[in-house]
Amino acid sequence: MKNLYLVVLLTLILPLFTNIVLAQCDGVTLESLTNPGSFEVETLTEADGIRNGPDYFGATIYYPTNATPPFSSIAIVPGYVSLPLSVQDWGPFYASHGIVTIIIGTNSLYDFPEARANALLDALETMRQENTRVASPLEGALNLDQLAVSGWSMGGGGAQRAAVLDNSIAGVVALCPYLNNPQLNHKSPVLIFSGENDLIAAPSQHADIHYNVTPNTTDKVLFEIENGNHYVANTPNGGGGAVGRIALSWLKLYVEQNDCYCTLLTDNLLMDSPVVSKVEQDFECESDNDGIGDVCDNDIDCDGILNENDNCREIVNPNQSDLDNDGIGDVCDNDIDGDGVMNDVDSCPNTPLGEEVDANGCSESQLDNDSDGVMNDIDLCPNTPTGEAVDANGCFTLPPNNFTIEATGETCPNKKNGQILITANEVYNYVVSINGNQYHFTNNKTISDLLPGTYELCIEVPENDSFEQCYSITIEEGNTISGKSSVTSNKASIAIEQGTAPFNVYVNGITVLNTLNTSFTIDVKHGDLIEVKTAKSCEGTFLKAIDLFENIKVYPNPSKGLFEVTLPISEKEVVAELYTMDSQLISKGTYQVVNGKVQMSLENQPTGVYVVRIYLDTPVNLTIIKE
> Among this protein's residues, is 219 annotated catalytic?
no
Among residues 442, 469, 443, 466, the alpha carbon closest in space to that of 456 is found at 469
Residues sharing a CB contact under 8 Å with residue 287, sequence separation 6 or more, in sequence order: 259, 262, 263, 293, 294
Contact 236, 89 (CB under 8 A): yes
Alpha carbon distances (Å) from 439 to 211, 423, 447, 458? 78, 13, 9, 11
Question: CA-to-CA distance for 477 and 413, rounded, in angstroms?
Answer: 6
**Residues 111, 122, 198, 303: which is the catalytic one?**
198
CB 141 within 8 A of CB 69: yes
Catalytic residue (one of 150, 153, 249, 559)? 153
Helices (H), 134-285: 154-165, 207-213, 242-254, 260-264
Q: Is residue 204 among the annotated active site residues?
A: no
**Which stretch of DSSP H or E encloses residue 14?**
helix 2-24
As a whole number of angstroms, the distance between CA 189 and CA 214 comes to: 10
Catalytic, out of 219, 230, 273, 346? 230
How far, in Å, CA of 183 to CA of 120, rounded? 17
493 catalytic? Reply is: no
Calpha distance 294→490 (Å, rounded): 109
- 3-class SS string, 452-492: CEEEEEEEEECCEEEEEEEEEEEECCCCCCEEEEEEECCEE
How far, in Å, are 3, 10, 364, 499, 583 from residue 15 at the CA level? 19, 9, 50, 104, 143
Active site members:
153, 198, 230
